[in-house]
Structure 1
């Protein structure tokens, strides 16, 4: 009953938003008339124009949202004929929830499960129901845990939570669109405050609905299983993030991708190979941090709430949840084809993918060393011989500083020169065809020789860091069939590969031209932008969502920090920075007082990066 009242309050507040907006329009119009009647024509005209701007903003937002329908969730529909046991389980749980069975079950690519309903007449009339199951959840859960998840989702139907889903979605979209349309005036500021209140109330309703749906999980699956399932969710989410970041990302940026079968199949292999690490994650306390803006309560709060729900004794079905979908591997591959934007990437099995992607990643790292060596040696292109000659001449620290290391603070057990030599030696061995990177699900890729045995070059790198051992190192490389005069630099310029977004500043003057500057940890994206300073943050956010930073760096100018010889912070607020490049050019960035920022501290981040470059960068001779 409490949740229903809160939901009704949420809908009432949505209506109230338009009452407030129309009231503001009417009030401004009335004041404009009074101003004209009182002989204040200029003031009346301004008020009238403001009323018109607000009216147009509200109507434009309504029209935009009315025409935009939520896109259907991509994935693979699973019919009763495809997965009879899954559908039988859903029907059983729907009976327990005393609710109607979903009309559709669809496998999706997310670490999530969800339900929706195409309700009509503000949720008074039910519509077609959709149940979405994430492939990674099926791979990680047993049948008992999946039953707990299904019961939770069907609980949203039984409590009619989904009836207001469409209204809430539309309402949030309209309110945000209206506030964005009117962001440049005092009315927009007033409505923004109302919008924040509405979002707080709708989030509170959503959190309460989650707790209500959890009650059915306990009743159907038993308290122990329901609580273990909640504990498992952040574990699976962490495992998927690790899989995406450590296995998919490098190859993806380099133009490689796993096959459709391998995309989700690899995650299953990872779960099987990393059991001990997953067990350690399960031993951690469940997440307890929460916010008033969250749509879900913290996992710890949900587990604690389950302790007060009457328990049910249920025999646990420990079969893997994938048995409920016959031919699961084929279905997962079909989901990958549907939801993953493979584009024109070369698809490889995991052994070949790892060999190619790690080699490309390590070659990029080696190229940064080679380019620094070329600058120090006064050459157009550096080879492994160039690097070894510089170290043999006692210029190893110069090379490390040219790459960006602060040799004065480097720890003794992690000295930069041997580190750089490990990078170039491993890359040179792969270039020479005497080594390759071997895939592993239980740990990082391993460099192996022609005989398939691990090729440990760390000792050779430590030896090469000693100028007195230059001859011995070259003899060893000859025995390995590595030609030091051929193996070397492959790319003349640095790229944005591996770049992490740290911030962004809109409408920055870059040598006299307006740019949005996206700050990465390895360089700056300089995106030409309009002169108007409104909406800069949203513009940058939309750009970063449109494509990976590597692709954006191909479309727009990219200033790699590797190109910077030295930097100077000319002013910190608003930030002004000058970068002097190795080729002698200077690039000056001047932030405007009125410019937007992607994050509040974006200007501080840019200044801190410039300070680091001023301390560690080295000019070309």
Structure 2
């Protein structure tokens, strides 16, 4: 029925398009007969573009779409005989043919596909995909439920029709994306496409419940519920893991030698947090008619309403079924993780290098601000300690704590100074970082114990005891001259685009202005005054922000002393920098915005510097 529905809806879609095309031709002929040809062209040209261009392109993409296997590491029966035995047993249990190939993939997912011919009438090669993060988190009982669910899609012939539904979805979504929302010819097409997607999604949701029933029958209700819950939890945990442990290093040009091995360590170390996520998983999902899967709570309720199946109470880790998993994990890392331009390190080295570079970046921010305060081209820890010995702690602290008294600022400055002392310890090879899967990396001294430099920092901010602090550092083998600025000028690293104005005048030149949360990038437009929004989006998508900033004019906010708004709309502003230079910004009436609130966002940014 799903195949028949997909075919009929696709046929109906293109019949409707042909009818629209015929109506448009008739309209064009009638307009030519009753009026000037120019009028006919103006009225019907957009309609022809929508029908032929939008729908024709979508149909071409759908026809050419290839049903290719997901990239992953192939697991043969010889490599994992126990896993394959489970797959074959469960396939027999649901009354279907076992997959021809099993692949370990990097996603938090499990799936099946079949590369059929003649709209699914002729069976083809079958693939079973298991996400490594999922495999790392499940026990054997839960894995059986997952496998039974996926094989259940085979038994109900869900995947044999996948090629038809896949191409239909491409055609419909492509038509919607290519036709402007104000094009009259596109309205019926958009409505029809949305109707197709709504019905197709409803069919998909029903199929998921059918596959869940297969999981209950062969693994039991408890395992089926636990498997669904665990996958939802793993999805959240894996996102946290990448953002917290991998991405910071990747942004600094570093990568661990096996991303997936680290996730296994995190799961083992954060069992209490994982348990709390399990209790919240069903409440986090909200249902939508546009979703291809029912909400977790709905699926759990449906599972609990089914008769009990055949639970096995096998609590072994699912990874036990794949004996050589570390080798496969490393292979999957090489296959799926792009390492070009990044230094690949072991996890201990990756942790240490990431923490050190993050610390250096923070220290550079502090050093640059202190250099402006001390009116020097650049400073390092040596110069800072000299200033503290001269009793200037309050003056230096005021650069960071504007609302504090000079005495309060001096005391607070010890917190920042401690960071600089830690940098000196690391650069002097008197401290190192240890990976922690439950917290941030921990700083350890040569004796293997946590290194606490806060007491020395408190001594240093008091001019009377600065010399004593220096003496204590020397006793520890920490050289204050080792902590120096690396980036004397701020970069766009770590920044995000929050707004953009096209076709402005920036410091006398025509430019598109990208507004970041840490600075402004002026990209010369070279006389092109059209399609600023499209141009800015293409620029952002084409390369990293750091590269865009390197190639163009970047003004970090830390260099801005004051902004004077001369005119609100269009924006006229004078940006005064700490070095005495000024930049004139002028927005044109015909300029474009990256998004509708770009001007408002820029005003909010400038407001932070209006009173300095």
TM-score by length of 1: 0.86
- Could you list the per-position Cα deviations for residues 131-171 of structure 1 after superposition, in whole angstroms to 9, with x for gaps in the alignment? 11111111111111111111111122222222332233323
In structure 2, the partner of 1:256 is: 254
Tell me which structure has the larger Cα radius of gyration: 2
Q: CA deviation at 1:365?
A: 0.7
Cα pair distance change 1:441/1:127, threshold 3 Å:
same
Is the counterpart of residue 94 in structure 1 residue 84 in structure 2? Answer: no
Match of 1:228 among 214, 219, 226: 226
Segment drifting more, 569-578 vs 507-516: 569-578
Segment drifting more, 323-332 vs 44-53: 44-53
Q: CA deviation at 1:303?
A: 1.4
Kept in 1: contact 2:218–2:309 (CA 8 A): yes
Match of 1:387 among 369, 384, 387: 384
Is the counterpart of residue 273 in structure 1 residue 269 in structure 2? Answer: yes
Match of 1:180 among 153, 171, 177: 177
Is the counterpart of residue 38 in structure 1 residue 38 in structure 2? Answer: no
Kept in 2: contact 1:438–1:448 (CA 8 A): yes
Match of 1:429 among 400, 425, 428: 425
- Could you list the per-position Cα deviations for residues 92-147 of structure 1 after superposition, in whole angstroms to 9, with x for gaps in the alignment? 11122222221211111111111122233333433222111111111111111111
Cα pair distance change 1:596/1:211, threshold 3 Å:
farther
In structure 2, the partner of 1:246 is: 244
Cα pair distance change 1:557/1:123, threshold 3 Å:
farther
Kept in 2: contact 1:508–1:589 (CA 8 A): no
Cα pair distance change 1:545/1:292, threshold 3 Å:
farther
In structure 2, the partner of 1:308 is: 305
Match of 2:55 among 55, 58, 77: 58
Kept in 1: contact 2:511–2:524 (CA 8 A): yes
Q: Distance in 2 between matches of 1:379 and 1:534?
A: 40
- Could you list the per-position Cα deviations for residues 289-328 of structure 1 after superposition, in whole angstroms to 9, with x for gaps in the alignment? 2333222222222212211121124122111111222211
Kept in 2: contact 1:373–1:390 (CA 8 A): no
Is the counterpart of residue 478 in structure 1 residue 469 in structure 2? Answer: no
Q: Equivalent residue of 1:126, what SS?
A: strand
Q: CA deviation at 1:367?
A: 0.2
Residue segments in structure 1 that go unaligned for 5+ positions in a row: none
Residue segments in structure 2 that go unaligned for 5+ positions in a row: none
Cα pair distance change 1:107/1:356, threshold 3 Å:
same
Kept in 2: contact 1:574–1:590 (CA 8 A): yes
In structure 2, the partner of 1:21 is: 17
Q: Equivalent residue of 1:186, what SS?
A: coil
TM-score by length of 2: 0.88
In structure 1, the partner of 2:278 is: 282
Listed as ranges, the matches of 1:68-217 within 5 Å are 68-69=65-66, 72-183=69-180, 186-187=183-184, 190=187, 191-217=189-215
Aligned residues: 602
Kept in 2: contact 1:78–1:106 (CA 8 A): yes
Alignment RMSD: 3.3
Q: Equivalent residue of 1:118, what SS?
A: strand
Kept in 2: contact 1:564–1:613 (CA 8 A): yes
- Could you list the per-position Cα deviations for residues 186-245 of structure 1 after superposition, in whole angstroms to 9, with x for gaps in the alignment? 147524444444333333332222222111111111111111112212221222222212
Q: Equivalent residue of 1:284, what SS?
A: helix
Q: CA deviation at 1:478?
A: 3.2
Kept in 2: contact 1:506–1:536 (CA 8 A): no
Is the counterpart of residue 493 in structure 1 residue 516 in structure 2? Answer: no
Q: Distance in 2 between matches of 1:205 and 1:416?
A: 61
Q: CA deviation at 1:391?
A: 5.5
Q: Equivalent residue of 2:608, what SS?
A: helix
Q: Equivalent residue of 2:119, what SS?
A: coil
In structure 1, the partner of 2:504 is: 509
Q: CA deviation at 1:424?
A: 1.7
- Could you list the per-position Cα deviations for residues 436-475 of structure 1 after superposition, in whole angstroms to 9, with x for gaps in the alignment? 2222233221112222221112333344445554344333
Q: CA deviation at 1:266?
A: 1.6
Q: CA deviation at 1:408?
A: 6.1
Q: Distance in 2 between matches of 1:268 and 1:251?
A: 18
Kept in 2: contact 1:507–1:592 (CA 8 A): no
Q: Distance in 1 between matches of 2:15 and 2:250?
A: 49
Cα pair distance change 1:464/1:166, threshold 3 Å:
farther
Kept in 2: contact 1:75–1:338 (CA 8 A): yes
Listed as ranges, the matches of 1:599-618 within 5 Å are 603-614=599-610
In structure 2, the partner of 1:319 is: 316
Is the counterpart of residue 582 in structure 1 residue 578 in structure 2? Answer: yes
Kept in 1: contact 2:141–2:314 (CA 8 A): yes
Q: CA deviation at 1:66?
A: 3.3
Is the counterpart of residue 456 in structure 1 residue 444 in structure 2? Answer: no
Kept in 1: contact 2:502–2:594 (CA 8 A): no
Q: Distance in 1 between matches of 2:399 and 2:173?
A: 48
Q: Distance in 1 between matches of 2:589 and 2:196?
A: 33
